[in-house]
Amino acid sequence: MDFLASVIRLAIFFGILYLIFTNFGTFLMIIGGIILVIALLIYYIKKQLLKKAQQYQFRFDSSSFSNQGFNYNEFKNFDYNSFNNSNFQGNFYTQNSKLDEAKDFFGFSSTPTKEEVKKRYKELAKKYHPDLNGGDDEKMKKLNEYRDILMSIVERV
């Protein structure tokens, strides 16, 4: 009986090992197959991209660039100190110019506190709100924009 029980135990033990390793082996084969498919897709895509790149043949060499059109001597004596924003044709705003506009709109001469901005905003909102007193919609938009600028500056301080 002991011999038969030992054989049965060994058979069960090897049966469990067989099931574990065959399922694990199947799992490994599936994972390996997925990795192989992904590697082949990457290879194929890379090959196609290289073919397209060779069609266009981008090359940068010193012969394709020249210094024609730029004359260093023309700018050699340029006075950078006299250069200002009036030389620009566009509408360039700096953070400081917007801040100055916001302060002027709100009537502040120096950087206000958060409470001062809120108080003055309420006063101006009553004055410029389009639904109250026939206020101006554009001025209300500017008021909101300038309030945001002032609040961002106040929060940094």
DSSP string, 65-128: ---TT--HHHHTT--GGG--GGG--S----HHHHHHHHHHHHT-SSPPPHHHHHHHHHHHHHHH
Residue 94 — very low, low, confident or very high, per pLDDT cuts 50/70/90? low
d(CA 66, CA 149): 46
Q: Which whole-number Å values give the CA distances from 28 to 33, 34, 39, in the listed order?
A: 8, 10, 16
Name the residue type at position 128: Y
Give the mean pLDDT of 16-41. 83
Give the mean pLDDT of 56-76. 58
Q: Which whole-number Å values give the CA distances from 67 to 58, 63, 71, 73, 103, in the listed order?
A: 21, 11, 8, 13, 47
CA 141 to chain centroid, in Å, comes to: 27
Residue 126 — very low, low, confident or very high, per pLDDT cuts 50/70/90? confident
Check residue 65 and give its pLDDT. 52
